Amino acid sequence: MNRKRVVITGMGAITPIGHSVSDYWHGLKAGQSGVSEVTCFDTTDFPTRIAGEVRGFDPETIVDKKEARRTSRFILLALKASLEAVADSGLDIAPIAEKVGIEIGSGIGGIEILEQTAIALAQKGPTRVSPFTVPMMIPDMAAGLVAIKTGAKGPNACTVTACASASNSMGNAYRLIQQGHVIAMITGGAEASITPLAMASFSAARSLSERNETPATASRPFCKTRDGFVMGEGSGILVFEELEHALARGATIYAEVVGFGASGDAYHITAPAPAGEGAQRAMLAALQSAGISPEDVDYINAHGTGTELNDRNESEAIQAVFGEHASQLFINSTKSMTGHLLGAAGAIEAIATVLSLKTGYMHPTINYHEADLHCTLNYLPNQGAEGNIRVAISNSFGFGGHNAVLVLKQWELG
């Protein structure tokens, strides 16, 4: 089969540190934390009272008031980022609508709708349940609404693989173009799960940082003093496009997608496999699919959650895959600034990776205070770095043992 080359021609983002790609990138370069006290509900009785909220977002800038009221927040965030990405790409969808698909992942979907409706049902009875409950709640509706708003009529799907959802979605999008089924894909992830139920559940599992007094320093990937991840929300969307089509219309090309790998741990519902065994296989599969050796990789945007097990196992997995070359890699964690966007994390991190390839700058991992003997690589602690990076990978791992890895390359026509 003649494999098509796949490039990235548009990007959109709404995150705790910026409502556009340019603002987001500025925040990353500045080492800006988007973590603060939760404002969307009363956290008085919660052990964790901090998160990376998207503040100041007015959905009526993209939909009317009536539609905003009956649309879940994660869908609105996805739509905001998608409209930016499509506009950025300059892609005229109408003439090729059946060849433009959408795959937008979400780990949890409209959980706030489920919570609110369950309370209404219990307190006021079934007649007070909105007919929009299911369409507002189900994770695939972000892809559905983006299709309605953009007119893209190609394959339309949502992958749900916990914190690997966006990366699995982008991997599927990449393969659809590579195999010639579509010309372009609008892809990424969206999440808005800073809610009482979600935070209470993660707190009960002792997964969240409890540094409530110093929220900006709470997310500490790879630092010995890390005490859990910080929840975040937002959306990242990218336009993947077949190379020849992009060149023919004179599109701006940010980077090339050259590989994707995925694996399952088959080990535990929340803990990663020892030594990151599943992560190792996903990285190796991604590199093999790209035809790239480990020594060719310059930079890794790590999953880097700030939990004890993830950071240790991811570091061990990188060491195992890259051997002596691991010490030469630049590695960072975007989550140190944004918090963990769960099903959307892989998408905003892919955007950060693309911009690093494009500009030659890799953002710092902030809040790194003390080295961990089990995490001994170069995580760009508190200081970004410049370099001519040609090949990068972006790691995403999720509850249930889902592992997804993208390989991205600096754009060159060759």
Alpha helices in 164-272 (DSSP H): 165-178, 196-204, 243-248
Closest CA to 301 of 366, 219, 394, 375: 394
Which residues pair with residue 256 across a beta bridge?
Answer: 7, 409
**Spatial separation of the C-alpha atoms in residues 128 and 219, rounded to whole Å:** 40
Place of tokens 């339309």: 156
**Spatial separation of the C-alpha atoms in residues 305 and 167, rounded to whole Å:** 15
Residue 394, phi then psi, degrees to nearest 5: -125, 120
Strands (DSSP E) along 298-390, which ranges? 299-301, 330-332, 361-362, 385-386
DSSP 225: T
The full length of the chain comes to 414
Mode of pairing for the β-strands spanning 36-37 and 391-398 = unpaired
C-alpha to C-alpha distances, 123 to 30, 119, 120, nearest whole angstrom: 47, 6, 5
Residue positions annotated with a catalytic role: 163, 303, 340
3-state secondary structure of 218: coil
DSSP 17: T
